[in-house]
Amino acid sequence: MTEFPDILLQVLRRAERVAALTGAGASQESGLRTFRDAQTGLWAQYKPEDLASPEAFARNPKLVWDWYAMRREKIREVQPNAGHYALAEMGHRVPHFTLITQNVDGLHRKAEETSQVSETCEVSYPILELHGNIQRVRCAECGMYADAWEENGDVPRCAGCGGMLRPDVVWFGESLPRSTLEAAVEAARTSQVFLSIGTSGMVQPAAALPFAARNKGAVVVEINLEPTPLTEKADFLLQGKSGEVLPALMQAVWL
């Protein structure tokens, strides 16, 4: 997709406050499976929501730990894609830009750290990781973070209290970090443009953010391969791969 409605380009050029919400689709072109994609190999028999929960961890901590260890390993092998870099660039061009992500892969941070633009622009922007970050590991008992741990075939233990270690992500049934969620809601409600990128909009409370923005008068732009429950309420659906649409949109608006 390279043709964009002129009104959208005007709105983005004039926007002072923009918020973007990303989901697994934004990392798909980096080579990471989305939640809707079927799992493969050993994990084919499991649905993510059956592994990403405190109940699953209580029932079979080793299985859940190994699933996250496999995903952490996979994430180490991949790089941010053009969509991540386009959002980093947008973050340096829009006066007040907030990047809200449901993804736990840390690729937005990686893109920001390695994007060329950040050397020349002092404008920085918050990256709100609503569901945590898979690279961080904490004790399930005392909450202490662990920088290193023994992979000895069992679930590693906390050096402080001996409790089991777990990924520092938000599981189904767990509450999101309050301050992060509050900042995301504030960014949505005060945004003039809200971009919803690569998310099926099925998981709450993240899925409510574009609607909160719309209720406060924001222009809502969806970037997805296909329509979602948000589409009929969005002002624009830019149908295509985020790694292609976002750079083209950046080009059309700012370059």
Q: Which residues are catalytic?
A: 131
CA atoms of 73 and 75, how far apart (whole Å):
5
Identify the residue among 23, 106, 156, 247 touching ligand BV8 (CB under 6 A). Answer: 23
- List interacting residues with Zn ion (CB under 5 A): 139, 141-142, 144, 158, 160-161, 163
Question: Does the footprint of ligand BV8 cover residue 173 (CB under 6 A)?
Answer: yes
Q: Of Zn ion, ligand BV8, none, which one does residue 161 interact with (CB within 5 to 8 Å by kind)?
A: Zn ion
- Reference 249, options 18, 73, 90, 107; nearest CA is 90
Looking at the Cβ atoms of 63 and 225, the one nearer to ligand BV8 is 225
Question: Does the footprint of ligand BV8 cover residue 87 (CB under 6 A)?
Answer: no
| Contact characters 45-84, ligand BV8, x per CB under 6 A | ----x--x--------------------------------
Detail the DSSP E strand segments found in 59-149.
96-101, 127-129, 132-139, 145-146
Identify the residue among 104, 164, 249, 250 touching ligand BV8 (CB under 6 A). Answer: 104
Question: Residue 223 pairs with which residues in a beta bridge?
Answer: 197, 238
Coil, strand, or helix at residue 158?
coil
Which residues does 193 contact at the CB level (< 8 Å), separation at least 6? Answer: 11, 12, 15, 17, 18, 19, 218, 219, 220, 221
Q: Examine residue 205 and say whether the peptide bond preceding it is cis (omega within 30 degrees of 0).
A: yes
Identify the residue among 40, 116, 152, 175 touching ligand BV8 (CB under 6 A). Answer: 175
User: How far does Cα 172 stand from its chain's mean position?
Assistant: 16
Q: Which residues bind ligand BV8 (CB under 6 A)?
A: 23-25, 28-29, 34-36, 49, 52, 102, 104, 131, 169-175, 198-200, 202-204, 206, 223-226, 228, 241-243
